[in-house]
Amino acid sequence: MEDQTFRDFFLGFIKIHILYHASREPVYGQEFADELRRHGYTVSFGTLYPIFHRLQQKGFLIVTHKNIKGKIRKYYTITREGKKILKEAKRKAAELVDELHEN
């Protein structure tokens, strides 16, 4: 139960993290998994890729395909709608952080 609770809380953070990085430059799965590990998240590709796909299906990311050494790699970039959601997420996150630090 504790692992599921942890997962439920942090999947939202990961989605915001994806949108943030995709707003700065195109991102792909392996590179992004490494970025998440740098922040202490351990996420399997079986969890990560469906998140990318759902964000794409909802219109928050677009995907481009590039041939890298004979393999097709999907790069994800934020859309206008994704930028709107990210802006609102940042506002709500700042509000939450302020509340969490109240005495």
Q: List the chain pLDDT tens, one digit each, 103 residues.
A: 457 777 777 888 899 999 999 999 999 999 999 999 998 888 889 989 999 999 999 999 999 999 999 999 999 999 999 999 999 999 999 999 889 888 6
* pLDDT recorded at residue 2: 53
Please give the model's pTM, rounded to 2 decimal places.
0.86
**In 3D, which of 3, 37, 35, 2 has the Cα closest to residue 21?**
35
Classify 88 as helix, strand or coil.
helix
Whole-angstrom distance, CA of residue 36 vs CA of residue 13 = 10
* pLDDT recorded at residue 1: 42
Q: What's the angle, vertex CA 62, arms to CA 59 and CA 66, rounded to 5?
A: 160
Rg (CA), the chain: 15
Backbone angles phi, psi at 70, to 5 degrees: 85, 0
CATH number at 17 reads 1.10.10.10
* pLDDT recorded at residue 28: 95
Give the domain extent around 54: 2-100
Number of domains in the chain: 1
**In 3D, which of 37, 64, 59 has the Cα closest to residue 48?**
37
